[in-house]
Amino acid sequence: MGLFDKHYSEIISFLDRKKSQGIVSELFPAPGSDWPSEKNRNLVLGQDTAVELGNPKDASTSFLVWANQPDKIKNSRITLVGPDLPQLSGKQVSFGKIVIVNAADFDEDNTYDRYREMELLRYDIHLKGYMMRGVSQQQREWSRVSKEAVSNGFSFKHLGGALIDKFSQMPYVRAVETIFITSVKEDVLEMQTISNSVGLLISAMNKMAEEMSFDCDACEYNEVCADVEELRSMRDKLGRDALKEKETAASA
């Protein structure tokens, strides 16, 4: 089982339930429909805002997972649970954003570095009339869409397409999908539970890679690693590499 296969299955189960409720739309970017970019970081003031997504007073979740699921992950698919931006004009709503990547050739040597690389891409979006404030550590995202952008037709098709274009530039990315949730707060909170579980795995990776900590008995992520084979493999590989470095330094 892959690092996030369990979470991927939970996301698909959620989408299946929402499809049965008739609130799911599937979109694909139209050729030549790229939204104008804004070189300088966008500032959308309150009085210029048409839609506010994931305000700190509302529920918000934003996270990334990858899986080796070539038969299930459909490249460039944008799934929307709830209304699109034109239908949300004048509203402030809870918001969920999920990026799902079909990735190839991930192993204990490169998984952490590739995660860091993809994580930065999630926030490297500069579209005219779209302002985003992301808090990666908390897996949250707060964004505003300007009245002018909505009036000119800006939608999740453009936002999803921009994200897909970014991720598709990575040589190890075979396919990428995006999911946006604007339905109700409870749906976002359900995905937040999955996000929290994903965050634990990421935190465990961070501790292993950055702190080079291998004292499993004293580690707060001991149970997480015990349940996920990929994390154990990464830990063991990092431990072997650290030992080799010590031996090399001692013999120098």
- For 71-87, what is each residue's pLDDT tens digit? 889 999 999 999 999 99
Both tokens of 174, joined, read 């075979």
8 Å CB contact between 85 and 150? yes
Q: Which domain holds residue 223?
A: 213-251
Q: Domain holding 192: CATH number?
A: 3.30.1650.10
Residue 139: strand, helix, or coil? coil
**pTM over 0.75, yes/no:** yes
Of 70, 93, 66, nearest to 80 (Cα)?
93
The residue among 171 and 250 whose pLDDT is bigger is: 171
- For 213-246, what is each residue's pLDDT tens digit? 666 677 777 777 666 667 767 766 666 666 566 6
- 54's torsion region: left (phi>0), alpha (psi -120 to 50) or beta? left
Q: Residue 217: count other Cβ atoms within 10 Å of its Cβ.
A: 5
Residues 120, 229, single domain; the answer is no
How many structural domains compose the chain?
2
Residues 217, 200, single domain; the answer is no
Residue 85 and residue 149: Cα distance in Å, rounded? 10
Residues 183, 232, single domain; the answer is no
Both tokens of 150, joined, read 């909505």
8 Å CB contact between 106 and 4? no
